[in-house]
Amino acid sequence: MSSDAIADMANQLAYAHKHNVPFPFLLGFLTHVGFDEAARKAREGTYEDWHPSATKQASKPVKEPVARQKARRSDAKIERVASRSSRSPVLPLADKPMLLR
């Protein structure tokens, strides 16, 4: 089996998965859409007209890489911690006397 045929099958399954097609209806869905058409639409990232994401697709922003998302989240977390510490300074524990009982 050629690598192109395997890639087409993978794209067809991915397209059905994007549309939440249950396994018993998989063959019927792909037959209805068209096997080659499903592979093409999966590569393009499009949806069927009836899918809720089909209307949002034109305004859908390009997803940024996961590494950049994580970096942005950690930067925001650092900023939140910094803004909290500037509002109410916290004394280090060494400056406070401790009582032992």
What ranges do the domains of the chain cover? 1-61
Please give the span between the terminal C-alpha atoms of the chain, in angstroms, as a whole number.
77
Cα separation, 42 vs 65, whole angstroms: 19
Count of residues in the chain? 101
Cα separation, 81 vs 65, whole angstroms: 25
Average pLDDT score over residue span 48-61: 67
Cα separation, 72 vs 86, whole angstroms: 21
Q: Binning pLDDT at 50, 70 and 90, where does residue 2 land?
A: very high
Tell me if residue 37 falls in helix, strand or coil.
helix
Q: What is the pLDDT of residue 25?
A: 93
Q: What is the pLDDT of residue 50?
A: 80
Cα separation, 20 vs 92, whole angstroms: 53
Q: What is the pLDDT of residue 54?
A: 72
Model confidence pTM above 0.85: no
Give the DSSP H/E element, type plus range, for residue 38.
helix 35-44
Q: What is the pLDDT of residue 53?
A: 78
Q: What is the pLDDT of residue 51?
A: 80
Neighbours of 32 (CB within 10 A): 11
| Digit-coded pLDDT (tens) for 19-53 | 889 999 999 999 999 999 999 999 988 888 888 77
